[in-house]
Amino acid sequence: MKARAVLFDEPVPYRTGLDLQRRLLAARQAKDIPDTVLILQHTPTVTLGNRGRDNYLLKTPEEYAALGIEVFHAERGGDVTYHAPGQWVLYPIIHLGANEADSHGYLWNLEEVALRTLADFGIQGFRREGKNGAWTEQGKVAAIGFRLKRWVAFHGMSFNVNLDLSGFKTIVPCGLAGLPVASLKTILSDKCPPMEAVRDRLLVNFSRVCNRDLEPVQSV
């Protein structure tokens, strides 16, 4: 199945990315565009999904503002997470066909994309029962939260590469107190791959797992 992968070179403010997703969602529902996958980095942002609660925020609004971190309540599933440069965010705006319309199956697919990408760089990842995402012995590397509207998925997955993890200390990540967050940098140290190499593997693995033939295009 043909699809587009839109690549962004510079970090994107969360609201800008959300507005773009909503426009693409409407266009995909109307069948005006093919399946489209955005892959980008965000400026520092905390987002709360449908299950996220304000008590997972460990700073006041004024303290977040002083740190240069925006806070948004998102319409995705999941709890609270943190975005920043050095983390890839994958937003697939795709119509789930008859053989993939189950949300649990789509969650499994996104986890599989993350696990295969970890394996590409020599890292053993795994699933944790009752907790979505991709995990390693050092902590959680990929967080997942999406939503379906008229069988079109939006929002998606974040994958930690070499971002400053201190932002996660301002929240209870995914509502899971005491469970660590990791990145390729914390696991591989000086052997951490470049951002572009990780982006390319995420897209290859998404293409294979989700059966989408992705054509990369540069954002304008």
Enzyme catalytic residues: 174
The number of angstroms, rounded, from the C-alpha of 21 to the middle of its chain's C-alpha atoms is 13
CA distance 183 to 205: 18
What are the residues whose beta carbons fall under 8 Å from the beta carbon of 48, sequence distance 6 or more?
54, 56, 57, 71, 72, 73, 74, 79, 80
* Beta-ladder partners of 88: 159
Per the document, the length of the chain is: 220
CA distance 185 to 165: 10
Rg (CA), the chain: 16
Place of tokens 């890839």: 88
Taking Cα atoms as reference points, which of 126, 135, 205, 138 lies closest to residue 174? 135
CA distance 122 to 115: 11
Residue 71 tokens read as 């806070």
**b (16+ CB within 10 A) / e for 1-20:** eebbbbbbeebbebeebbeb
